[in-house]
Structures are given as C-alpha cells and as structure tokens.
Amino acid sequence: MTLAALDITFDPSDRAEPWRFAPVAGPDPARCVIGRTPEEAERLLPRVFNLCGGAHGAAAAAALGRDAGPDAVAARLAVARQERIRDHALAVLHDWPTLFGLEPDRAALGRIGGGAADRRALAQHLASGDPDLAAASAADLDAWIDEGASPAARVLARLRQAAEPLIGRAELPSPTRTDFAAALHDGAPPMPRETTILDGWREAPLVAALLAREGASLVTRFVARLLDLLAGLIDAPDPAPVPAASPGLGRAWAARGLLAHQARVENGVVTAYHVLSPSAWNLAPGGLLTRVLTALPIGPNTPMLARIAIASVNPCVPVRLRVETPEGALHA
C-alpha cells in the first residue's frame, strides 16, 4: 500500500480505545518510471516526488547507478540539504509559532533565499548569538529558553509549558539496511522502526544530554530539527552521513528522515521501482506517531498536544485529526 494520508480520530469518551487510525491508500507514483531508461527515470522522479525532490533525486541516482563521481554525488546531496533548510525554516519561523499562538517571523524567513552572509545572520537570529547550539549542555538550553531572546527559544518555552518531558515520549530503533531491504521487498515495514531528523543528531552533546535526561521527548525532537536548520545555515558538516549505496538501493536524508529507493534495471530499462518514505515507518500501524499520541494524557488539552506531537514527527503525507465531542466531530 502507498500511504497517501492518515486520518486520526480522538474520542475521549472511548476509554478503551480513544485513538483510531485510518490509513488512506493512494496510487504508487514510482510506477511511472517502469519501462523508462535510467536517465529518464532520474529526471522524472524528483518531479513526481516534489515534496522532497532533492532528496528523492539523490536516492534515485544512487539506486539507478547514475552516480557520476564524487562531485556529482556531493552536488545532489547539497541540493537535498538546501531543501531540508527551507523545510525546517518554514516550520521554525512560521508553523511552530502559529501552533503556539505566536507571530510568525516572516522577515527572517525571507533571508532563506539570500547569500551566505544572510544565512549566517539568520542562524545568529535564531540562536540569539552563537549558532552552535549543538555543543551546549542541557542546562545551557534551559537557560537559553528561559531568556527567550530568539523566536526559536520562545517556541520551545511554549512547548515546555504545554508538555512535560514524559508527555508524548516514545522511541523506536532506527531501521537498518536489512530492515530497508525487507520493507522495500514487502511493500511495508516488517516491524516498528522510526526514522526522523533526530537520528542524525543523537551524538551531538546537546541531544545526547537531552536523551539522557528526558528521552526522545517532544522537546528533544523539536530541538533536533532546530539544530539541523542551524547547521545547514552556517554550512557546518552534515551530522548524518548518507548510508553507502549498494546495487539497486539508494538512500538520502530528507527533512523528515531517511528515505530509500530501490530499482531493478534490465536491458537498459527500469523493470521495477519502489520508494520508501520516512512516513512509511513513522506512520505505520504501531509506529512512532501511534506511540507518541497514545502516550499523551487524556484531558482538555489533548487535541493541542496531539497537534504538537504530529509536528514533532513531521509527516510527509497529510495527517487529518478529528476530535469527537458531545456536540459532534471537530477537525483540529
């Protein structure tokens, strides 16, 4: 099944099963390259999967055997990273403030398209100083949030007020190469795994300290995404190296996690092609989003916490949340 959307219903009156998940199936876009040459497929796939087209392009090139040397690989990965920066910036400067009732920082968002100086200035604006937050301690982060001198700090302050560390905490192992191969073969993950931008930041001092203190909390997940944005803005080394390609299999980091492409080429044409998005893992039955939502306390604030939880997972397909009330269903 190709996941096109996920419908979630929260019914607080149902004490046995307050959360219901209904995956929505859609057509498989990857089938459009069957019968085409690898060159045609490489050009077409980033347009078909245009949400994270750069990352899909990098994974497709590797899967199709189209890597034309280290310079070409580096260029593709640079495009994918710029895409991550734009996605993160939109979240940090617009979507997250809106979620927490703050004003979006549209002026700062406009700097994304500028040169290196503009981007470094944006990083300093987001960090209210040194953009190397990854080297900070958990206590440093707490003080930075309390100071509230940057838009990102103010968002995290609202998040801390809304959700204690244990609320919505859930964690699964990252998929291995064997897991990817099995999922691509079967068309669905064989077991619960997660792949999010947090994976690449686990060794950073700040994230390691947060994981030790409060686990994979909502705050930890938001912080990892902020760090990925800051690192991209100042052109710091990418903390998450792309796994090595193998014949017919290519992977690349997107803003939402690690995606994979698998290709079979026979007699110069593509005869089979499969794509596995991060949401195939994170939104799977019993997967990360299910576990995060079912870890939320049931009460008046649950719908708001659910929206925060969904933002922390950052799905790549629409997730529609419906809340059942005595007056009828509301879309949250």
User: What pLDDT does residue 185 have?
Assistant: 86
Binned at pLDDT 50, 70 and 90, residue 331 comes out as low
Share above pLDDT 70 across residues of the chain, in percent, rounded to a whole number: 98
Residues 52-68 pLDDT 10s: 999 999 999 999 998 67
Is 316 flagged in the annotation as binding? yes
Inter-residue contact 255 to 89 (CB < 8 Å):
no
Number of helical (H) and strand (E) elements in the chain, helices listed first: 14, 7
Half-sphere exposure of 311 (CA within 13 A, CB side): 28
Structural domain boundaries enclosing 137: 2-331
Tokens 């944006």 sit on residue: 122
Binned at pLDDT 50, 70 and 90, residue 163 comes out as very high
What average pLDDT does the segment 239-264 reach?
Answer: 89
Q: Which residue has the higher pLDDT, 179 or 70?
A: 179
Dihedral-angle region of residue 328 (phi above 0 means left; psi in -120 to 50 means alpha; beta otherwise): left
Residues contacting 19, CB < 8 A, separation 6+: 8, 9, 10, 290, 293, 294
CATH code, 273: 1.10.645.10
What average pLDDT does the segment 19-33 reach?
Answer: 96
78-87, 147-156, 276-285, 318-327: which has the minimum mean pLDDT?
A: 318-327
Q: For the chain, what is the domain count? A: 1
Is the model's pLDDT at 184 over the cut of 70?
yes
The order of strands in the sheet holding 269-276 is 249-254, 257-266, 269-276
Residues 189-214 pLDDT 10s: 889 999 999 998 999 999 999 999 99
Inter-residue contact 258 to 198 (CB < 8 Å):
no
How does strand 319-325 pair with strand 2-10? parallel
The Cα 313–Cα 283 span in angstroms is 9
